[in-house]
Amino acid sequence: MIRSVVLSTMLLVACALAQSAWFGGIAVLGVTPDLGLIVLIWLSYMNGLVAGPISGFLSGFAEDFLSASPLGFHAFIKTAVAAAASLLHGSFYIDKLLLPVILGFAGTIAKALAAGALFLLFGSKVHAYSLVERTIWIEAAYNGLLAPLAFLLLGPLRRLLATERRRG
């Protein structure tokens, strides 16, 4: 499990770096997809309630140092989303299209709700999404549409990223 968590965390940090460096060119109405979130959802769904949230926390903590957000902001959000995705571990078969779309869309809404919870606790010091503005819905749709491709590309990495009990 340690190897899986280390490799997963490294992949998630690489996604955050790639997103900040290159994803501005594929923005739709100023909104970019959250590749790290999609990868985190896949990792958490595949690994269950321990490895996914640990990887989410560690990568979120690393992302906190790379962003202007308060320390712990991304760590909390990624841990919360990973825990939610982990609860579905073993409940559904991941088909090639429908479930990835649903998980990408719902994971984005979960991210917005976690950011909203932090906003309620700490006020304007943290960024929160407004559920009545189009930004969160565009991002959710974008992540939902990108999720099937991301899940497909992550499939061959399952032996490296999934914990022992899910490899067989």
Yes or no: say if 25 and 130 are a contact pair by the CB < 8 Å rule.
Answer: no
Question: Does the structure show a pLDDT above 90 at 162?
Answer: no
Q: Where are the alpha helices (DSSP H) in the chain?
A: 2-22, 35-47, 51-66, 73-86, 98-122, 134-154, 158-161
43-55 per-position pLDDT tens digit: 999 888 888 899 9
Question: Does the structure show a pLDDT above 70 at 164?
Answer: no
pTM above 0.85, yes or no: yes
Average pLDDT of the segment spanning 4-13: 90
Domains of the chain in sequence order: 2-166 (1.10.1760.20)
Question: Does the structure show a pLDDT above 50 at 167?
Answer: no
Gap between the Cα atoms of 94 and 153, Å rounded: 13
81-129 per-position pLDDT tens digit: 999 999 988 777 768 889 999 999 999 999 999 999 999 988 877 888 8
Q: So what's the pLDDT on residue 37?
A: 96
Q: So what's the pLDDT on residue 44?
A: 93
